[in-house]
Amino acid sequence: MNPLRTLCVMACLMAATLATPHNGNQKRSNSLNNYEDPSNWVSPSEIEQLPMLKDVTLRRLEEMTVDDGAKLLEKLYHLSQFNRVFKPEYVPEPSQIKGYIVGERGQKIEFNLNTFVQTVKRQSNFGNDEVTIFIQGLPQSWNHVSKANRKLVQAYEQRYNLQPYADQDQSDSNEQKSSSEEKENQRRKQNLDKDDTKTGNMVVITLGDLIEDFEQYATLNVERIGEIVGDRLVQLINEVNIPQEIIHLIGQGPAAHVAGVAGRQYTRQTGHKLRRITGLDPSKLYAETDNKLSGLARGDADFVDAIHTSAYGMGTPARLADVDFYPNGPAAGVPGADNVVEASLRATRYFAESVRPGNERNFPAVAASSYKEYKQNNGYGKRAYMGIATSYDIRGDYMLQVNSKSPFGRNTPAHTQNGYHSAHESWKQQEQKNFA
């Protein structure tokens, strides 16, 4: 017997007089504010049909349609809110959390979290320019996860001139060579002057590899892990003398919340803030610490941005950051994604595309409080760029349309545009064509 079912059947019966039954055929509202409405609660009969927690795997979600996967996760989420059914009990030891630094020749310099700073000390020129720390939130043993993560790391290798993009991952070379994305990237790289390429350091923390099933995913203690990462950042700044102004934390899925807590922990310990934290489809928080701000939030760094690509699936529609981007509006998925796992990882793919030199302005977005407002305004309004080029002074919700296949940005190719005005005009013309 699923213990979650036993607890929640009783909770549902007690809540029946307070909530209307969930109508599975009712169209979701475009509003971002009604996700916690009691009408989303589920009935006891629906609970009985839920699978055991350990049976909810990425494979199972990948085999379901976007809508079916989103419905299952939505039910599990709302059940988790009854009497705090899920407790944040899963805390891997720092020695279990692995990672690597991308070396100057593209090699992986491995560490575990409790030896991170010692490993950094052995690297010459570390921290002379930007430092990007990517915390993975899903296991790389799955194809969609490994591909998205690889694309992001490769993009930073190219951006930081660590290793030519074409030399990456020979096992996937045939796909890359034949894809329009790879051909376009190669052409752009050839046209770039060396002065246009920054230098920097890329660090990857593979937290997601320790998440084997939904129970671990839902009960991950993002507060404790975030505090551990934050303490390592304090140690890094103190012992390696790296300024916090050059550190950019990127968190994927549940690791977006880990990144947020790490930023807060760093501020508590030092009185200063990291420069930027980016959440890539921040997940729902199934297990929250009582009476405590949990997860990613504005204020965790000088600037916090989030990209929501599976808001009603793997992710959350909640406003979390200084600026929240909703490609194609808040929904369970995005164009071209066959399931909620792939949809969630599109946030990583979009950000990776924006990181590659010449692609920074591929994703122009418009301020809008709902997708209906965005469509009614025909794509006009206050502009911003989603991705690496997001301006640190923008605030609010932004929406945009994306392509179903790579290149995903509607503003591609960006390198042919000479400035903001031409980018604006090009995107406006494309949007008018799309809405025609």
State how far the alpha carbon of 190 is from the alpha carbons of 106, 150, 323, 358, 434, in Å: 19, 22, 33, 11, 31
Region for residue 48 given its phi and psi (left: phi exceeds 0; alpha: psi -120 to 50; beta: otherwise): alpha
Dihedral, CA of residue 179, residue 184, residue 185 and residue 190, to nearest 10? 130
- Determine phi and psi for 383, rounding to 5 degrees: -105, 155
- Measured CA to CA, the distance from residue 47 to residue 85 in angstroms comes to 13
- Measured CA to CA, the distance from residue 72 to residue 58 in angstroms comes to 13
DSSP characters for 245-279?
Answer: GGEEEEEETHHHHHHHHHHHHHHHHHS---SEEEE
Asked if CATH classification 3.40.50.1820 holds for the domain at 98-435, the reply, yes or no, is yes
- Measured CA to CA, the distance from residue 189 to residue 220 in angstroms comes to 40
Question: What are the residue boundaries of the structural domains of the chain, listed by start?
Answer: 3-84, 98-435
- Determine phi and psi for 331, rounding to 5 degrees: -155, 180
Beta carbons of 315 and 284 less than 8 angstroms apart: yes
* DSSP 8-state secondary structure symbol assigned to residue 404: S
Helix (H, G, I), strand (E, B) or coil at 63: helix
Nearest to 225 by CA among 170, 155, 148, 295: 295
Confidence (pLDDT) at 415: 38
Put simply, whether the predicted model's pTM sits higher than 0.85 gets the answer no
pLDDT digits (tens, 9 = 90+) for 186-244: 444 444 444 445 789 999 999 999 998 888 999 999 999 999 999 999 999 999 989 99
Averages of pLDDT over runs of 10 residues in the chain (436 residues) are 46 39 40 45 60 74 93 87 79 95 93 96 91 96 91 96 55 43 48 57 97 90 96 95 94 97 97 97 86 84 98 95 96 96 97 96 93 83 93 95 94 45 44 40
Confidence (pLDDT) at 421: 39
Q: Residue 90 forms beta bridges with which residues?
A: 220
DSSP characters for 285-334?
Answer: -SS--TTS--S--TTSSSEEEEE-SSTTTTB--S--SSEEEEETSSSS--
β pairing state of 383-385 and 364-367: antiparallel
With 0-12 / 13-18 / 19 or more C-beta atoms within 10 angstroms meaning exposed / middle / buried, residue 297 is buried
Handedness of CA 23, 28, 29, 32 (dihedral sign): positive
- Determine phi and psi for 262, rounding to 5 degrees: -60, -40
- Measured CA to CA, the distance from residue 101 to residue 83 in angstroms comes to 41
With 0-12 / 13-18 / 19 or more C-beta atoms within 10 angstroms meaning exposed / middle / buried, residue 83 is exposed
Confidence (pLDDT) at 80: 80
- Determine phi and psi for 49, rounding to 5 degrees: -90, -5
Nearest to 365 by CA among 306, 310, 313, 300: 306
Q: Residue 397 forms beta bridges with which residues?
A: 324
Tell me the residue ranges of DSSP E strands in 136-219.
200-205
State how far the alpha carbon of 10 is from the alpha carbons of 235, 290, 339, in Å: 47, 21, 32
